[in-house]
Amino acid sequence: MDKANLEELINFILTSIELIKNRFKIIKSSDDFLKDNDGLMRLDAISMRLQSIGEALKNIDKRDKDFLLKAADNIYWSKIIKTREILTHHYIDIDSETIFDICKEKLDELEDKIILLKTKIPE
């Protein structure tokens, strides 16, 4: 992913958000992730996509420190990138409630910001 251009990274994030939303549709509570094998697979798949989104954002930030600031401040983006670090290095500390809350409360806002960034990609 590191060699991908800015537009590819933005499109990857939008695709990942769409996949997360699709996988999350039938999840009504954090317990739904834990009740059976299907729920656990959804939890794993969503967690991996969240990790990948954080990695893509990290790569965008490396390429152009100011680009992400066109949609939100550094604090916003660093929280997402920090979540990626936790998912990558401390996966055992992540619980179904955390992933549920991210999907339920944070994903739409992130999608809106990424859509805005897509309009800011230099020609």
Tens of pLDDT, residues 18-27: 999 999 999 9
In a domain, 62, yes or no: yes
Residue 82 lies in a domain: yes
Q: Give per-residue burial for 3-41: e unless 16+ CB within 10 Å, then b.
A: eeebeebbbbbbebbeebeebbeebeebebbeeeeebee
Total domains, the chain: 1
Look up the domain containing 109 and give its range: 6-118
Q: How confident is the model at residue 8 (pLDDT cuts 50, 70, 90)?
A: very high
Is pLDDT at 2 greater than 80 in this prediction? Answer: no
Question: Residue 61 domain-assigned?
Answer: yes
Structural domain contains residue 63: yes
